[in-house]
């Protein structure tokens, strides 16, 4: 069964303390992997699409990387405004997209 698993479920960091979030997937014929940020009570905000192993993309303090079995979202010197739930998702079949449960990130000032 196709699955997307994110770890850890929750992460508390001090401001400036870098870390990584993990997204592992079991989807045959990967056609891309998406990262989203979601603030409480709001819709997910698109961050990145990664298409092939070895690909990396950056945006401000975030960098996403992709291997054949997992993706990492690296957060460098985070600030309190980076606190959110980070979701990864992979397409399955022609149209379905499967989301992980997310990692709740809390950055302490």
Partner 1 sequence: DAGVTQSPTHLIKTRGQQVTLRCSPKSGHDTVSWYQQALGQGPQFIFQYYEEEERQRGNFPDRFSGHQFPNYSSELNVNALWLGDSALYLCASSLRWGEQFFGPGTRLTVL
- Could you say whether residue 46 binds partner 1 (CB under 8 A)? yes
Query: What are the residues whose beta carbons fall under 8 Å from the beta carbon of 84, sequence distance 6 or more?
Result: 37, 38, 39, 105
Interacting stretch for partner 1, rule CB under 8 A, among 12-20, 57-65, 71-79, 85-93?
A: 85-93
Is residue 47 within 8 Å of residue 36, measured between CB atoms? Answer: yes
Under the criterion CB under 8 A, does residue 36 sit at the interface with partner 1? yes
Which one among 44, 62, 71, 73 touches partner 1, defined by CB under 8 A?
A: 44
- Measured between alpha carbons, how far is 46 from 68 in angstroms, rounded to an integer? 22
Question: Which residues contact partner 1 (rule: CB under 8 A)?
Answer: 4, 34, 36, 41-46, 49, 87, 89, 91, 93-102
């Amino acid at each position: 069964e196709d699955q997307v698993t994110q770890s850890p479920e929750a992460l508390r960091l001090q401001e400036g303390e870098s870390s990584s979030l993990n997204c592992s997937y079991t989807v045959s014929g990967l056609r891309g992997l998406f990262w989203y940020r979601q603030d409480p009570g709001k819709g997910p905000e698109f961050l990145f699409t990664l298409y092939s192993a070895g690909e990396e993309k950056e945006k401000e303090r975030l960098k996403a990387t992709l291997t054949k079995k997992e993706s990492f979202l690296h957060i460098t010197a985070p600030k309190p405004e980076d606190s959110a739930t980070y979701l990864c998702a992979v397409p399955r079949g022609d149209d379905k997209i499967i989301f992980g449960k997310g990692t709740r990130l809390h950055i302490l000032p």
